[in-house]
Amino acid sequence: MITFLGLIVTILVIIAIARIVRILELTAYLSGENSERITEKNNNLQGTLNLVFLFVGMIFIVFTTWRYSRFILPVSASKHGVQIDNLMNVNYVLIFTVFFITQILLFVFAFKYRHNKNRRAEFIPENHKLEFVWTIIPTIVLGGMIVYGLTVWNRITNAVSNKDAQVIELYGKQFDWTARYAGKDNTLGKANFLKININNPLGVDSLDPNAKDDILVKELHLKINQPTLLSIRAQDVIHSVYMPHFRLQMNAVPGMTTQFYFVPSITTDEMRKNLNNDKFDYVLLCNKICGMAHYTMKMKVVVDDENQYAEWMNKQKSFDGTAVADNTNPIKVSAVASK
């Protein structure tokens, strides 16, 4: 009710201002004044206001950038994330440099070249040298950024050749995630959507020997400095594995398997100390709008040290219902078998 009344009041105020402006225009017309005549005083005033706007605007930009910098993600919790942060920092430096230069020139020129009856502007229909400069420089800069970005991306995505990576499947459906660990053999058992039922939500083939030691959980635990290969699937619509603190994102597409390789580098306890926040937790989110309850599709992520990880793993049960033995030794990748 209050919002509706506020809207009505706002509309009435706008109408009143419009009527007052119209009355002033009619008054000026009837009094014989030329409302279109622009004086030197007007030009000087508008030029000065441009400089004032520039000064106030720059202060506002600097202040808000500093004020809201606390909402920026903390230091990357994965090794490849450092490369992504460096790429973003280069982009920020470039963007802010161009922004400040162009805005200062824009408003200073508006002041410097304001109308003066004793000065005439020179008409220059074309300037090939100037056009060449402002075409080549942006092309070189943007081309350099594209090459740099592709180099970083290729370096990250080509790292899956590491044979010591632990294989973990992330399975998305409206509106939750399930993680499946490959077990001691580090080979995921086969899965088929035709086998999905209430007791087998991922459609894991129970007859596949590699599936017997697979571990299904609703909370993702990672071991510090352990190379990890995420095998990603979706059941219904396109989802997206998004782990912002690890600078990690990969689509989960029905009918195919995608993957992402990374190495966690900061435990949950260490990040809590860094942020001075005992309640901090890493999180896995869906970064595709996948339906009405999209915002609820998340999973807690914990990065453990070696002892914490072994303790957690020993509490789990494998797909065949047996207890999981200590799995703290390095494991080898053999295959990822999911359909």
Q: Tens place of pLDDT for every residue, the chain, 339 residues?
A: 567 787 888 899 999 998 888 888 787 777 765 555 667 788 888 889 999 999 999 999 999 999 998 888 999 999 999 999 999 999 999 999 999 999 999 999 999 888 887 888 788 888 888 899 889 999 999 999 999 999 998 888 877 666 778 999 999 999 999 999 988 888 888 888 888 888 888 888 888 888 888 999 999 999 999 999 999 999 999 999 999 999 999 999 998 999 999 999 999 999 999 999 999 999 999 999 999 999 999 999 999 999 999 999 988 888 877 777 544 444 443 334 443
Report in angstroms the alpha-carbon separations of 101 from 94, 145, 240, 325.
11, 19, 38, 62
Compute the half-sphere exposure of residue 26: CA atoms within 13 Å on the CB side of its CA: 6
CA dihedral 18, 19, 24, 25 (to 10 degrees): 70
**Alpha-carbon distance 242 to 240, whole Å?**
6
Strand 298-304 relative to strand 220-223: parallel, antiparallel, unpaired?
A: parallel
CATH class of 164-314: mainly beta
| Cis status of the peptide bond prior to 100, with omega within 30 of 0 | no
**Alpha-carbon distance 311 to 18, whole Å?**
72
Report in angstroms the alpha-carbon separations of 260 from 61, 100, 266, 277.
37, 38, 18, 29
Q: Report pTM.
A: 0.75
Q: Tell me 294's DSSP state.
A: G
Which residue from 313, 319, 312, 288 is spatially nearest to 202, judged by alpha carbons? 319
Block residue for tokens 């808000």: 64
Edge-to-edge order in the sheet of strand 215-217: 215-217, 176-181, 166-173, 228-234, 258-262
Burial of 176 (0-12, 13-18, 19+ CB in 10 A): middle
**Alpha-carbon distance 278 to 293, whole Å?**
28
